[in-house]
A and B are shown apart, each in its own frame.
Chain A
Amino acid sequence: MKLIKKSNGTAATGVAVGTPGEAIGRRTFLRRSGLTLGGGAVAAMLPPAMMRKAEAAEGFSPKAGVATELRRSVCTHCSVGCGVIAEVQNGVWTGQEPDFESPLNLGAHCAKGASVREHGIGERRLKYPMKLAGGKWQRLSWDQAINEIGDKMLAIREESGPDSVYWLGSAKHNNEQSYLFRKFAAYWGTNNVDHQARICHSTTVAGVANTWGYGAMTNSYNDMHNAKAMIFVGSNPAEAHPVAMQHILRAKENGAKMIVCEPRFTRTAAHADHFVRIRPGSDVAIIWGMLWHIFENGWEDKEYIAQRVYGMDEIRAEVKKWTPEETERVTGAPEAVVKEAAKILAENRPGTIVWCMGGTQHTIGNNNTRAYCVLQLALGNIGKSGGGANIFRGHDNVQGATDLGVLSHTLPGYYGLSEGSWKHWARVWETDFEWLKARFDKEERAGEYMGEDGATDGKPLHSMHNNGITVSRWYDGVLEDKNNIQQRDRIRAMVFMGHAVNSQTRGPEMKKAMEMLDIMVIIDPHPTHAAVMNDRKDGTYLLPAATQFETYGSVTASNRSLQWRDKIIEPVWESLPDHTILYKFAKKLGFADELFKNIKVNNDEPLIEDITREFNRGMWTIGYTGQSPERLKAHMEHRKTFNTTTLKAEGGPLDGQYYGMPWPSWGTPELNHPGTPVLYDPSMSVAEGGLTFRARFGVERNGVNLLAEGVYSVGSEIRDGYPEFNDQVLKQLGWWDDLTDAEKQAAEGKNWKTDLSGGIQRVAIKHGCAPFGNAKARAVVWNFPDPVPIHREPLYTPRRDLVADYPTYEDRKVFYRLPTRYGSIQAQDFSREYPLIFTSGRLVEYEGGGEEQRSNPWLAELQQDMFVEINPKDANDRGLKDGQMVWMKTPEGAQIRVKTMVTRRVAPGVVWTPFHFGGHFQGQDLADKYPEGTVPYVRGEACNTAMTYGYDSVTQMQETKVTLCQITAA
């Protein structure tokens, strides 16, 4: 080191320190960022296990001079569908490279995506089957585990019927496993089967599908490049869908105006042009408040409404009540802010709306989602590139698992539970319908279902046709008085296959239910919070499941594109892929031969491609029929030929097709339908991906025409609205003879959803028509509890003055087999003792219940504590400091111990926590209850332990976005 004094005159070549002001700025910057913390000090915190880890990890490092193979998969952490490129040496996953060829992420990853290689290291994974015996974890073999569990299940079936075993599936299954899981439950003989979609977007699917036909994202992340305005309501993509922000910010750079409407100033809001802060649970009010300005100023698209929307006048009548004063009284948003948002949307068309769980997880979630749809319909934004309802789904395959029916109220393809639906699938499965029916409990009970054939409310139903209990309330199926549950007996066995119970509310009650179960089976890459949050001593089984990087198959991104994953590595430790585990159970339970009739099985592993082909043969409703394994693999192979805005292949062997054939990809694979990039867009022919609104709700209502008027997709031979296609319609139109003889035979007496030859769809498309008809979207859903979406106060609200004006529903006796409370809870005033509104959300490093990420040191290090965001005012009122431990108590008696984060991100009166933590329960660290070597690096209270009662009036979605709490120093 030479010390040389440099004169200021030559500062250009020296270290630029700048003015003293800047220098101070830099120092504060370092202090704020925590960068001044010595590295050594941090390293001292390194747990001993990490040291071992550092050594062990060398076994997974890339080695010089060893051949490296590249394998392709898709990230398993959210619905954007980012391509993952893995470097594999001798079967070991040694590196990750950016997937620049993927048109969805163009090589990009967020923290989660950039860390997926850790799955292959998996030091904290569940390593072999285990069971809890006398309060101790014991290792056992797969055969032993399957035998013991199977014997108990068969005994329960004998004593209490098939409905007493609950099959809880996952949005982490790939499409093939999802489909197989739903089919498996059917062959076991129950509708007590569900998955996370129930608690993330069920109100979206119900609300949106009942508005215009399908319940999925209408456009794509990429199509947002074309938007002129974007409004995010209860959606925080910067943390929940970070790679989507690449497309969103690109849209913004293209000139789009960005509005964020949220109770919380999120990291997404930090990038917005306009921020509208609302009180949690006032979504309908804020949307109607905006629509009030739109109607008042005549900004609505009158021609579009006349041609393509039913019932807007009834909406108009409701919206009239939402004057700026009333909107401010309910939402807290002042007139100028609301009007500005409405003006931006009106002046910048097409615009898109994005919503997520901030909107869906409410007792009126279905009202919220329909209100969002109505706003877009009024602006004429649906069915247009750059417009649409871009509903970002959560998990990587929650769209696929929903489509393939891992739900208690439907079969794959949203066919519902009517006899016609069952018969359709029995034909696809080549299983005798009566045999299948005999697998179910035969008693008829009060119930309902809501599917393709409409709803039947209250009539007694055979258990095969009766909606099952939902995941949001499985524990009520255990705890509720037997006489109040619409099935033979209580739930006695729970199978959690890829489920995080910390995503469910009412922790203490859930714990009690767990302790009452005969057996609890957890099939997961990690033991999960479920394994430790209860005080069971026996009968808990842990079966190690492989992640999606250890198997292969198709996965559906939020934009309805299907992608094909390759297997990167063999399952680690003793874990097995989900479909293999299901085969083993089916064999034990005695229906494997029937279940796998048309699916080849090698060494207990069912052939994935055979499963894809099987659902291709039955999923006519939503066009999951064209995406054969061969076509999907070709799309992955040539993915660099797809345009990153339109997702259309430009040249190459797939010229004109859309990436991943976003459903519907009509007809058989041989029809080569390109997929539908934007739903309901009539500016293209149906054969090229265009579409109309679906004629799902009849042709007329009270003398009003429900079919489209004067609009039709390009090339349509019917130049007006038309009903859905069936054999009769084809005959009337004189198109019957366009069918081949074989098709005629299959199509006789069938419709576009049930014709297994695909002939009806083919001929409709040939004449430029959409197989499902051409109708209006309906702004009024007459079969729902609130046909016109209206505001209702949450069950736990601090605004007692609004309860009289906007009361919740009356309690219901039977709703998805269970009594459900509304008014009786809202009647009590908790707001004095619990004055703070409590809401929750996402952190970028974690996802869902967070087991995988909190067990991944690269991610866990970045978020080490569960915390609650609290406004400085509320903190000062309680004498609380930043970073202090506090108790959060909620009205049903639960309490959690967390750290404070004092921030203006939340408004006074509102507190927010992330929902990914687990491994603590009401103040207790459960680290010693995990099987050895599986404790996640980071543990914390699950916020939902303290979340309270409340369920959506159509889907039983849980109300996790608003309750009340009090916070005191711990």
Chain B
Amino acid sequence: MAKMKFLCDAERCIECNGCVTACKNEHEVPWGVNRRRVVVLDDGVPGEKSISVACMHCTDAPCAAVCPVDCFYTTDDGIVLHDKDLCIGCGYCFYACPFGAPQYPQKEAFGVRGKMDKCTFCAGGPSADNSDEEYERYGRNRIAEGKLPLCAEMCATKALLAGDGDMVADIYRQRVFKRGGRPQTWGWETAYKAS
């Protein structure tokens, strides 16, 4: 069974924020809400590295574990989604999440998105696929269209990989082999340890 995963290749990431704006554009995410961010380590000195971070769609998602209203569910290909009708915006999931993914826009800012908002792996939410309602509340459903998350599809250097975990790992392994280096699958230990 294919499991959807994200992987950011830090050797390729150039911190161009293409993934961030692709996400903003695709889902019309309002000002102040960032489903995806680029994080820089050792900014401005040798060893500087950047990684693009969003919800990693963890195998045993800690957000789902702590949710008091049980609004999270996981598709059988491993995408973690949630129901904004149930969400009470309590913020537990934010504290549980090792990646800081959940966002809490103000209610007025964006329709019903006063509830928690996060990366959906471009798979929308529990509304009819690609309905106006789904777009309004969760954003576009590319998965239902047979497409992958736009951030990774548009990545300037193909640093951000999204798709079936095995294929992602294969591509990445090839690159590491070519470079003669050690793999640095940042975040995978935390997110996908079980798989």
Point out residues on A near B: beta carbons under 8 Å.
1, 11-16, 18, 26, 29-30, 32-33, 35-36, 38-40, 42-47, 50-51, 54, 57-58, 61-64, 95-96, 98, 106-115, 117-118, 238-239, 242-243, 245-246, 249, 253-254, 265, 267-268, 270-271, 275, 844-845, 857-859, 861-862, 869, 903-905
Partner of A43, one of B28, B32, B43: B32
User: B13 to chain A: closest CB distance in Å?
Assistant: 10
Inter-subunit contact B150/A98 (CB<8 Å): yes
The reply on B86 being an interface residue by CB < 8 A is: no
Inter-subunit contact B15/A253 (CB<8 Å): no
The reply on B70 being an interface residue by CB < 8 A is: yes
Chain B residues with CB below 8 A from A861, complex form: 24, 31-32
Inter-subunit contact A40/B106 (CB<8 Å): yes
> How long is the Cα–Cα vector from A320 to B17 in the complex, in angstroms?
45
Closest chain A residue to B28 by CB distance? A57
**Which of A29, A44, A245, A270 counts the most B-chain CB atoms under 10 A from its CB?**
A270
Partner of A904, one of B44, B62, B193: B44
A-B contacts, 21 listed (Cβ < 8 Å): A13-B193, A15-B62, A15-B98, A32-B41, A35-B100, A39-B104, A40-B104, A46-B32, A61-B28, A62-B135, A106-B158, A108-B154, A111-B18, A113-B18, A238-B14, A238-B15, A238-B16, A242-B16, A243-B157, A265-B45, A904-B44
Chain B residues with CB below 8 A from A35, complex form: 37, 39, 53, 99-100
Chain A residues with CB below 8 A from B108, complex form: 51
Given known contacts A14-B60, A61-B135, is B31 in contact with A111 (CB within 8 Å)? Answer: no
**What total of chain B residues lie within 8 Å of the partner, measured CB to CB?**
74
Chain A residues with CB below 8 A from B140, complex form: 62, 95
User: B127 to chain A: closest CB distance in Å?
Assistant: 11
Inter-subunit contact A50/B158 (CB<8 Å): no
Partner of B17, one of A30, A36, A96, A110: A110
Point out residues on B near A: beta carbons under 8 Å.
11-12, 14-22, 24-26, 28, 30-33, 37, 39-41, 43-50, 53, 58, 60, 62, 65-68, 70, 91, 94, 98-100, 102-106, 108-110, 117, 130-132, 135-136, 140, 150, 153-158, 175, 178-179, 189-190, 193-194
Given known contacts A114-B22, A270-B48, is B154 in contact with A46 (CB within 8 Å)? Answer: no
User: B158 to chain A: closest CB distance in Å?
Assistant: 6
Chain A residues with CB below 8 A from B41, complex form: 29, 32
Given known contacts A108-B156, A265-B44, is B178 in contact with A39 (CB within 8 Å)? Answer: no
Closest chain B residue to A57 by CB distance? B28
Partner of B20, one of A46, A111, A118, A265: A111
Chain A residues with CB below 8 A from B26, complex form: 95-96
Chain B residues with CB below 8 A from A96, complex form: 22, 25-26, 150
Partner of B22, one of A57, A109, A903: A109
Closest chain A residue to B27 by CB distance? A61
Closest chain B residue to A254 by CB distance? B178
User: A883 to chain B: closest CB distance in Å?
Assistant: 14
> How long is the Cα–Cα vector from A32 to B39 in the complex, in angstroms?
8
Inter-subunit contact B193/A12 (CB<8 Å): yes
Closest chain A residue to B66 by CB distance? A1
Partner of A115, one of B25, B47, B62, B117: B25
Knowing that A35-B39, A54-B109, A98-B154 are A-B contacts, what are 19 other residue pairs whose CB atoms are under 8 Å apart, sorted by A's residue number?
A: A16-B193, A29-B39, A42-B32, A45-B32, A50-B109, A57-B28, A64-B132, A96-B22, A98-B153, A111-B21, A114-B18, A117-B25, A238-B14, A242-B157, A245-B156, A265-B44, A265-B45, A270-B48, A869-B44
User: B153 to chain A: closest CB distance in Å?
Assistant: 5
**Which of B18, B65, B140 counts the most A-chain CB atoms under 10 A from its CB?**
B18
**Which of B11, B21, B40, B131 counts the most A-chain CB atoms under 10 A from its CB?**
B21
User: A633 to chain B: closest CB distance in Å?
Assistant: 25
> How long is the Cα–Cα vector from A905 to B46 in the complex, in angstroms?
9
Inter-subunit contact B157/A245 (CB<8 Å): yes
User: B138 to chain A: closest CB distance in Å?
Assistant: 13
User: A598 to chain B: closest CB distance in Å?
Assistant: 41
Chain B residues with CB below 8 A from A249, complex form: 11-12, 157
Inter-subunit contact B103/A39 (CB<8 Å): yes
Chain A residues with CB below 8 A from B136, complex form: 58, 61
Inter-subunit contact A39/B33 (CB<8 Å): yes
> How long is the Cα–Cα vector from A710 to B190 in the complex, in angstroms?
64
Partner of A858, one of B25, B117, B175: B25
Closest chain A residue to B176 by CB distance? A253
Chain B residues with CB below 8 A from A271, complex form: 11, 14
Task: List the 10 shortest-distance A-B pairs measured between CB atoms, nearest first.
Answer: A35-B100, A905-B44, A111-B17, A39-B104, A242-B16, A270-B48, A114-B22, A39-B103, A42-B32, A33-B39
Inter-subunit contact A43/B156 (CB<8 Å): no
Inter-subunit contact A118/B25 (CB<8 Å): yes
Closest chain A residue to B89 by CB distance? A40
Inter-subunit contact A110/B16 (CB<8 Å): yes
Inter-subunit contact A265/B46 (CB<8 Å): yes
Chain A residues with CB below 8 A from B98, complex form: 15, 26
Inter-subunit contact B156/A246 (CB<8 Å): yes
